[in-house]
Amino acid sequence: MEVKERVVKKATFRIGPNDEHILDIKRKFSITWTWKWEFMLDGKKIGEVP
């Protein structure tokens, strides 16, 4: 998936062959005083990156 715009704080995308799933990308402040990106698919957390 390629995002053509910059994600600043939160973005929501419809994904899948028939757009049946919702992918949320959200920026969060972590315990270690850094920003991290959290990925949620249909309301379930599927991962995060620093």
What is the spatial distance between Cα 36 and Cα 29, in angstroms, rounded to a whole number? 6
* Residue 41 token pair: 């698919």
The pTM (predicted TM-score) of the whole model is 0.75
Q: 9: left (phi > 0), else alpha (psi -120 to 50), else beta?
A: alpha
The pLDDT value recorded for residue 20 is 96
**What local confidence, expressed as pLDDT, does residue 3 receive?**
74
Q: Quick check: 36 and 28 in contact, CB under 8 A?
A: yes
Residue ranges in the chain modelled with pLDDT below 70: 1
